[in-house]
Chain A
Amino acid sequence: MDPQDLLDLLDDQQARRLRVIENLLRGRKTVSTLYWGQRYDLLYLLSLDKHLARGGLDTVAQTLVSQKMATWLPAEQPQLRLTALGRKQRDQAVTFRPKTQALWPQITLGLARQRLLLSVQVVSQYAHQTARYYPLTTDLATRQAVRQWFHQVKSPELATQVFTALTASLTRLPPMTAQVVTAGFSGYQQPGLTVQQLAQDLQRTPWEVYLRHVDGVVQIAQDARQTDHPLHALLAPAWQTAVTRSAQATLRAVATTDLTLDQVAVQRHIKPSTVREHLLEAAIMLPVTAVPYDRLLPPATRQALLAVLPAQLDDWEYTALPVALQQRFDFFTFRLLAILCDKEGDHHAGTPDD
């Protein structure tokens, strides 16, 4: 990631923890990372760079600080905040916003990417009647899935169908994104360009090129949810709900029974703290309607907490609550309320009857 890429992930109003950004990229789905990812509106970064090392953004961050674009707040965890200069720089740059980013947490990107790239290569070589070629290096599961798919859909019309479907998907995206995706494909007489090479050609950062590539893959996978799409059987399995299966089961138990959270823990053979983590994860990743907030946060609870909490969500601190309230309400309740307020766009709390 280049300094200007990180600049785009920072804000002048909100100090942002570098470790949260790093952990999102690395796909560390702790409740804390997810919560702050949501607060920063950066959940789309989840698992985009699984190979990023711990501290892997520190150098880039330091560059921004030395350029006076950001300040480094040496808190327990380093926090970065844009300076006026950084804000100006960020706003002046034409930043790329992935069109499909809201969907990113719901897709297994690696699976979708590998299957798409290999299937395009296979169809391309098939269309040009090449029997012998180097296949892209993928894992066995991908090879088997693509092989099976290919044998099922193989027909003289397949290449045209895939061409039409991909064209339709890519037309929905900016031309440069369509160019990135197409030039990155490997196939007949086209080895495909690497992200680095495309960045060079297009005068963009490798990170932006990568985001464009992901945007294209997700758009194609989204369109392939239609059952008559030629890549449907291959790409539909890449979609998942944004929360783990175990968290889904916990949510179901809470939403459909009258059991207390501790009883749910006993029933599901998990720790009471895990039940709460599951619910917070679900609250962050799913729409408001998916979580029984009325039951988990009765009006009296909301009123009691909102009466004393600051107006700005980012200023909320559990340990700053009066001791009496801390004894009445656990951290789970406090955090769940914060998630709800965030989702409802209610940054000015203190209205007891909301």
Chain B
Amino acid sequence: MPEPLTTSLQAVFGYSQFRAGQEAALTALEAGQDTLAVLPTGAGKTLIYQLYGYRHAGCVLIVSPLLALMTDQVNRMHLAGFRRVAAITSLTSFGERQMILAHLAQYQFLFLSPEMLAQPAMLARLRQLPLSLLVIDEAHCIVQWGPDFRPEYLLLGAIRERLGSPLTLMLTATADQATKGEIAKQLRTTPTEVTASLDRPNIFLDVEPVANDAAKRERLLTLVTQLVFPGVIYFSSKQLATDTAQWLRDQTGLPVAAYHAGLSSEDRFKIQQQFMQGDLAIICATSAFGMGIDKNDVRYVIHYHLPADLGSYAQEMGRAGRDGQPSLAVLLYAPGDERLPLTLNQANRPDDATIQRFYAHPQAFSVDDPGIALLTFYQQHGISATAVQALFERRERERGRALAQMLAYVREPQCLRARWLTTFDEVAPAHTATCCAPGKVALDLDALGLKRQPVSAPTPVAPSWQAQLRRLLIADAPR
């Protein structure tokens, strides 16, 4: 009989208690049940498969759509003490891929992007492996249409069967009933559901309507000047994140940096570590920021642009206050802000005429266009033009519905928390003064205890390069 779960938890992570949902998910898996775990950001979803992998022989295969961040994931596993971990994505060099494939059987955890998993040669190799667990990370991507969407996710059900239907863990931070049903259907299983409340009572929710972009910028500056550190501001464009970081730095003199997928991996590493270490007061980020950042004391998250759906919003604002201390989530909204997600939604989708022309003459199109790449994928998998059209229409309706829910949150007059939680079929707690400030209610930072006290910080004297090098390399150098 294997050791109790808590014994394993203590042995691997040094914790004595699980967080909500972790133990239930592990118990279900231990009983051999496929499990769908809907746990909020910061709930420690990774721990579930890490611990399962520790307790069982064989390989844990993790399918994740977040290509650029998979290396971070591997590093985090290393940091947690797991050594036999590898990732194969389209970004993995040929040499590295060969190296990993040559030692495939030795890995305890293997991260794969869906497109890699869909390759027949890869699948054939994986079929020879003893899989202890198949993990579908970000499982809502199966139904979600967006930048993270990978058509290969639609093949996962068939792939799972070809792998011999191994025990499967589906993970997501966000799924309403319809999404949960679709995930189960696509993966051809009837999973045990484990959910924990999405609510984050220590995060005060705030929506602030502003007249226009200029007013929004001004409001952002005021907030940033008054709020305690550290904070994250989300943007929907890399350029705006970069420009605003510069502007805020100039205006406030605070250490502010931009973080987005356009940075080199070296710069991403440096900015992340600076933020973790407390060298930065504010990060201006795109949605690329989040994973790999286990920072507990983020005091506020501000959204400068309207997220495309409440699920993404909850995930991003949920990076505030993981330490349980009072924190703040602000959404700035100017009339017409919904146009951007709407445009992005439509821009990703080939129109009906293009679909027809593509199916008539596929060779006349360049697969460099993501929309065409998608069509090529569907065509190669025998999906007809009509079915694709219907698929796109359905997705667009879904996205429209999600955006409408987001807007309903922005326009909610009574209780933002109730609006958010009920959208995800959860019963909301009673509204109180420490709950939220909808559009017409003013935000009182003093009352929240999140107002920064003015301190005259001494200007740090930059050390000489010799002293800096000494501190870096010599353990007993003066710090």
Contacts and interface: CB of A to CB of B under 8 A. Distances in A.
Chain B associates with chain A:
yes
Interface in B83-98: 93, 95-96
A12 to B, nearest CB: 33
Contact of A194 (B71, B95, B267, B472): B267
A140 B99 contact: yes
Nearest to A160: B474
A195 B79 CA distance: 27
Contacts of B276: 191
Contacts of B269: 134, 136-137, 186, 191
A201 B279 CA distance: 14
A-B interface, 10 closest residue pairs, ranked by CB to CB distance from nearest: A191-B273, A140-B96, A137-B265, A182-B465, A163-B473, A179-B465, A191-B274, A178-B465, A194-B267, A187-B472
Interface in B44-101: 71-72, 75-76, 78-79, 81, 93, 95-96, 99
A14 interface: no
- The SS class assigned to the B binding surface is helix
B468 interface: yes
B469 A167 contact: yes
A190 B96 contact: no
Contact of A162 (B266, B271, B473): B473
B473 A183 contact: no
Interface in B409-433: none
Given A140-B93, A178-B465, A197-B257, 19 more contacts: A123-B473, A132-B81, A137-B265, A137-B266, A137-B269, A159-B473, A159-B474, A159-B475, A170-B469, A182-B472, A185-B469, A186-B270, A188-B472, A190-B472, A191-B271, A191-B277, A193-B270, A194-B271, A201-B462
Interface string B446-479: 0000000000000000100110111111110001
Nearest to A178: B465
A134 B473 CA distance: 17
Interface string B129-154: 00000000000000000000000000
Interface residues of A, number: 44
Task: Kindly name the residue among B71, B96, B263 whose own CB sees the greatest number of chain A CB atoms within 10 A.
Answer: B96
29 contacts: A124-B472, A128-B475, A133-B79, A134-B79, A137-B72, A137-B75, A140-B99, A141-B96, A159-B475, A162-B473, A163-B470, A163-B473, A163-B474, A179-B465, A182-B469, A182-B472, A183-B468, A186-B270, A186-B273, A188-B472, A189-B277, A189-B471, A190-B471, A191-B277, A192-B270, A193-B270, A194-B266, A195-B267, A200-B249
A55 interface: no
A117 B270 CA distance: 12
A129 interface: yes
A137 B473 contact: no
Given A137-B265, A140-B96, A179-B465, A185 B270 contact: no
Contact of A127 (B72, B475, B479): B475
A228 interface: no
Interface string B271-292: 1111011010000000000000
A120 B75 contact: no
Contacts of A178: 465
Contacts of B71: 137
Given A137-B265, A137-B266, A175-B465, A187 B249 contact: no
Interface in A190-248: 190-197, 200-201
Contacts of A253: none
Interface in A131-156: 132-137, 139-141
Task: Kindly name the residue among B78, B276, B474 whose own CB sees the greatest number of chain A CB atoms within 10 A.
Answer: B474
Given A141-B95, A200-B249, A167 B466 contact: yes
B83 to A, nearest CB: 12
A318 B72 CA distance: 55
Task: Kindly name the residue among A137, A167, A170, A189 whose own CB sees the greatest number of chain B CB atoms within 10 A.
Answer: A137
A264 interface: no
B188 to A, nearest CB: 35
A234 to B, nearest CB: 16
B273 A134 contact: yes
A191 B475 contact: no
Nearest to B277: A191
A321 B279 CA distance: 65
A129 B93 CA distance: 32
A139 B74 CA distance: 13
Nearest to A185: B472
Task: Kindly name the residue among B270, B271, B474 whose own CB sees the greatest number of chain A CB atoms within 10 A.
Answer: B270
A134 B470 contact: no
Contacts of B471: 189-190
Nearest to A171: B466
